[in-house]
Amino acid sequence: MGITQILCTFVSCIIMRNLYNKSDLNYCKPMARRKFTTFNIICLVSLWVILSGCVLAYSPINFMTIFTIIASGIIVFVPVYKSKKKEKDNH
């Protein structure tokens, strides 16, 4: 989650709290996580591969480029791995 997304969520919660009843904060609770389907995983991984390829093709290869690709890979693949592991443990 990027800093801008966190700030937008925070600001929207503050705005919503001012518009509605201040004691009812249920609208600021995070949504329940859904399971990844095979189609979701294929789309997510394909999009990551395409975007990583664009970064590698159009930017100089240095430490920050490699770090960005590795960090984004962790952000993409860890939730997928956890979802599949939880699905495997439940069956």
Say if residue 87's pLDDT is above 60.
Answer: yes
Quick one: 22 and 51 in the same domain? no
Distance CA 84, CA 38 (A): 10
Tens digit of each residue's pLDDT (9 = 90 or more) over 19-38: 455 555 555 566 666 777 88
Quick one: 5 and 18 in the same domain? yes
Domain that holds residue 76: 33-91
Please give the pLDDT value at position 47.
93
One-letter amino acid for residue 23 of the chain: S
Distant-in-sequence, close-in-space partners of 76: CB < 8 Å, separation ≥ 6: 44, 45, 48
Quick one: 50 and 90 in the same domain? yes
Classify residue 26 by its DSSP letter.
G
Tens digit of each residue's pLDDT (9 = 90 or more) over 34-69: 777 889 889 999 999 999 999 999 999 999 999 999
Mean pLDDT to the nearest integer, 56-85: 91
Residue whose tokens read 């789309």: 43
Which one, of 50, 48, 46, 52, lies nearest residue 67 by Cα? 52
H-helix or E-strand containing 40?
helix 38-58
Distance CA 44, CA 6 (A): 21
Quick one: 17 and 39 in the same domain? no
Selected residue with higher pLDDT from 87 and 68: 68
Quick one: 21 and 42 in the same domain? no
Quick one: 24 and 38 in the same domain? no
